[in-house]
Amino acid sequence: MYVDVHCHLDMIDRPVEEVVENARKKNVKAIVTQGVNPANNWVVLKIAEKFKEVIPALGMYPLDCLNLKDEEIDAELDFIKKNKDKVFAIGEIGLDLKEDSREKGFEKQKDVFSKFVLLGIKLKKPIIVHSRKAELDVIEILESLEAKKVIMHCFSGKMKLVDRVVKNGWFLSIPANVKYSQQFQDVVKRVPIESLLCETDSPYLSPDKEFPNKPENVVESYKKIAEIKGLSLKKVEEIIEENFKKLFRYIAEDKI
């Protein structure tokens, strides 16, 4: 089976039923869709209730947290705790310096990120991490909190930081745009396949530079990994599935 460990089903401008069915036809058996704020987290849970392939991750996007009061963030942490039996991962969480600066809101981002990492550790859930332009900061926080079950989503840091991610026993998820992205191709070359997962980040990062991207395109990640590693597609499929199961051991049989 194929697995998309990071997408945003509710952001794809297509009926969810159509998107999931098309993924199903491509043998994509697990689709981890991310929550990014309180309203979105609720939607993610509702979508997951309808489709056995959909695995919900609830979190707080770093830029979204800047628009919320502390009590609203605390309320969302409580919401996730109350729904812990329905939540399979904590994500998307992290830090972002593309549209922000270290002088404006970054300390709040770090505080909120730390709270959600600690929640993931407490609930024993995988943590799915966004780290745009703040890769070192993210790694240092995760290390200081002794996080173990970590997926670095679309990690674009320097190769010495990629090595640090692997050394920590964390996973890197490779998006479908690895088909043309030299950055992600270099990561695949450098990292043991036992440390890799695949994603689409739908509706973004299409392998064919089209919009919207969709979970069915996660197959392109597998194909490029197979090409770079000199392995059969079937072998890559099997290894990635095992990597996924190492993190998501507790998923019910009706999910995969």
Q: Domain limits of the chain? A: 2-247
pLDDT at position 103 is 66
| CA gap 40, 8 in Å, rounded | 10
Instruction: From 101, 91, 108, select the one nearest 55 (Cα to Cα).
Output: 91
Sheet of 171-175: strand order equals: 2-7, 28-34, 54-58, 89-94, 127-130, 150-153, 171-175, 196-199
Return mean pLDDT, the chain: 95
What sign results for the dihedral spanned by CA atoms 71, 93, 203, 100? positive
pLDDT at position 251 is 64
| CA gap 9, 216 in Å, rounded | 12
pLDDT in tens, 204-243: 999 999 999 999 999 999 999 999 999 999 999 999 999 9
| CA gap 236, 234 in Å, rounded | 5
* 106 residue type, one letter: F
CATH top-level class of 2-247: alpha beta
